[in-house]
Structure 1
Amino acid sequence: MAAMEDGGIAAMEIVARDLKAMGLYTARALSFAGVEYEAFEHKLTPDQIAIYDAYADAWGIIHQHLDEALKATGVVDRMSGDTLNSQAKGSALSRFECAKQRFFSQVLLSMKMPSLIRAIEAEVAAGHAAVVQLVTTGEAVLERRLSGLSAQERAHLAVDVSPRDGLVDYLRNAFPTRQMRVFTASDGTARSELMVDEHGAPVPCREAMAARDDLIEQLCGMPPIPAALDALIAHFGRDVVAEVTGRTKRIVLDPHGNQKLETRSPGARKADSDAFMAGRKPILAFSDAGGTGRSYHADLGCGSAGKRRIHFLLLTYSSLDILSAVRPQSRRLRETWPRHLRPGSAAAVLAEGVARSQHSSSRWPFKFWGAGGCGSEPYGDPQLVAGRTARLRAA
């Protein structure tokens, strides 16, 4: 007992898991009776496809410059192409691929917004409540943009928080520009290490820095893509959208159309959550941070009990495991309406990232089914499991 008290809830969960695996513990889960699953698909417009292709070409150019920068800095031998510093090369390529995947995930999320906004308008007009679940708020990009502004620029804000900024940040912070020094190792092979000056500071490679600056200049002329959450609030307004996320700052528009920096406190998030549950705001946008410890279902005791929750999911392929591990906040006991789940995907021809987005939507109901909860059906009964699976496949 002392060990259980020291371990707390985590230890109790481990014991419950082991007992369940041995067949000595019966777990129960929420019933999926009445829950509907309907994927909404956004057809990319010709303009969006052109923007996607333009950014794909930009990443291709960056990749070419990355190879040249690795040679210029001494990470790769310019003549033979042999790797002189495998650790530096692996780090550069890893950061490049991570930045690229993160960029295109955010681009695809933002491109879904026109269809999402139309779908939300239709549901709100029908008397329903829209719940939008996000995996990113763009706060990190906003923080970096604000940190580079002067006091005068902060007083007259004109900031575009776009996935493009993440691409520029990668070039400024992760593009290889440090010069390497080539030396001969004990086994006779050529290797390279970081070159430093007499003060111990890294020596920059002028060729790589010039290539980086040229790329940044070209990217700044490309069209910005608004972040998904900001586009949602800009369209419907703060009086309609309740935001329950972890971000502490956001850009809003005043009555004259000028940008204003608004601080978000925990009290503001709670006020928005209460406004949604009371029915004063018909749209809720929440992230992982905003979903912890909160419920947004049509509870019998709340003011919006008569409004069915239409749960929209703005997710990416890589966020499936994160979302499926979170207990669905719009589905609980004591609710008047079962929710309607609508994950979104974007469709276009010959777009690798879009194909992944479609795949994520098709996998979602089976990932979502295992999210668990406390409810009315024995989770381990084979017949009930088969029945739930059949209903999900039929949906």
Structure 2
Amino acid sequence: MSALTDVGEASSRNRQRLIDTLVKVLPLLVLLLFSHVGGQRAMGEIGWPVPWSVAVLIEVLTVASLAFSRTNPGAAAGTMAALCAAQLITGSAPGVSAFSVPFVVYACAKYGSPRVSRSCLALALLGAAALGVYFVLIDLTYASQYQEAGVTQETFWGLPVRTLGSAALTGGFAGAIAVVFWLAGHLAGRRRREIAAISERNQLLIRERDQEARLAADAERMRIAREMHDVISHSMSVMIAQADGGRYVLQQSPERAAQAFETISETGREALTEMRRMLGVLREGDGALQKRPAPGVQDLPQLVEDVTASGLQVQLHMLSESIPRLPEGVGLAAYRIVQEALTNTLKHGGPQARAEVWVAVAAESGPALMLEIRDTGHGAAVTSDGGGSGLLGMVERARLYGGTVQTRAHERGFDVLARFPLGGETTTAGAQMPAESTREGEAA
């Protein structure tokens, strides 16, 4: 990416130099050529005598400095100042190259840094003053001719008034031109910088928007991953338990075997429906696909019934009338936590395990939905394989809605306690998993 940016910047600079050469340099060079078609000017009247070709070369180089006035305004201004000084010293000024000075002043004010802009203006004003002095010297050089012709001139401080007026007019005009072009470039540069700042802010907003979109997509993928984990883990556990039970009772009780196979079929269909619903969320971003509502606390009786049919004895203690209407996210999180806890008991509790589920609203400092799932399985005797994420998924679900999850393994079984605050803005208080939790690998 950096290499592509460098190539793009180099191409832009080359294009700017080409445009400046065609628009500024080439017309001035043509004008310079026409100015010298009539013959050779006298060079070095008040300075060092120089060949005509050298004076023309200095003018050409002065005009050529405009080619990089936008890409390197400071260097262009410095080069032009040195060449203009050389013209004054050699007595070859003013020439066509004088027209290039306002252009470089404008470029420095628009494209250069504040230091370059102010330095260029100072050089231009100094050059205007030097041009005035240059004209004074020219008039003094030809003063003897006026005296020989018998022309008397009014003097001031020993200098002809006409000479002082001409010098002041020339230097003042040159300085005024430099100030006007500097102000125009300064205003254009300020507008250019404002536009660049707005463009940079827009690019920053676009990057922030894209980053937020990526974060939202990552969060949605994590949510769908948790949903798929819960659905597949629970459904597969039920189907495996029913298949194992059906194999043993197939010869002894065909009716119970048929019931087990029917439960496997229903569980598989429900899992497939849940998978289609979640994949529908991925395919349809505009919500056009109709999906059934997500499960909630009101679906816990059916969940307990399905788990009981799988061979695990489960008792549900819940007064549906006492539970207020919950946000969909809180209800789904509570349902998945109970589902995950029962699935872990079904997988790791052993054949003699039993489970109880309590669901209630506790009035503490603030109302809260309380979940408690206790089983009489192997508890602390279960060996963790380190490959599961069920308990971590419980904690993450609760944390999304300001809730907490606590798990505890003991000799008589395993306990899961969850709490969701109700009746106010949910906070993002971090849920903790106590150190005594030993079922890190309970969810495959």
Tell me whether the two structures share a fold, i.e. TM-score over 0.5: no
TM-score by length of 2: 0.22
Which of the pair is proportionally richer in strand? 1
Which of the pair is proportionally richer in helix? 2
